[in-house]
Amino acid sequence: MSLRSQALWGYRSLIRASEQAFRGDVYAIKEARKAIRAAFVENRRETDTETIAAMVKGIEEAESMLRFNIVQGKKNEAGSYEVKLTDPQKGKMRKDEELTAVTTSSVKTPEVTRSCASGDCPA
């Protein structure tokens, strides 16, 4: 596949990933689309193949970040936030990872905890 085709595929992929990541949040989807489009328009005249290849790699990393590392929390009746992971997000979690409840103090410092003491858990 040519670099141009990869970039166009990446653009569509980023748009779809942002729609998935921000599902239900019209404002966030709109802003993500604007940011993605602006980045592509800014670099549309690039001709250096090495630079374009690096950009395509960046597109793939950004898509992965949107699909697997961003979750939305919704406030429930009890006043705390619930997060629902998508199947791809669940599949990307390592067996030694677990979710930690979000508290006022942990919002500033998110953490991933390990469920085995030694730290060298099997994947």
How far is residue 85's CA from residue 73's CA, in Å, rounded to a whole number?
A: 10
Give tens-digit pLDDT for 63-73: 988 888 777 77
Range of the domain at 69: 3-74+87-91
Q: Mind listing the pLDDT tens digit for each residue in 49-107?
A: 999 999 999 999 999 888 887 777 777 788 777 777 777 777 777 776 666 666 666 55
Count of structural domains within the chain? 1
pLDDT band (50, 70, 90) for residue 34? very high
Cross-strand bridge partners of residue 113:
98
Answer yes or no: is 68 within a domain. Answer: yes
Closest to 20 (Cα-Cα) out of 29, 11, 8: 29
In angstroms, the CA 61 to CA 106 distance is 26
Domain assignment of residue 82, yes or no: no
108 in any annotated domain = no
Q: How far apart are CA 99 and CA 83, in angstroms?
A: 10
96 occurs within a structural domain: no
Instruction: Check residue 103 and give its pLDDT.
Output: 61
Judge whether 81 lies within some domain.
no
pLDDT band at 117 (very low <50, low <70, confident <90, very high): very low
Say if 112 falls within a structural domain: no
19 occurs within a structural domain:
yes
Question: Is 30 part of a structural domain of the chain?
Answer: yes
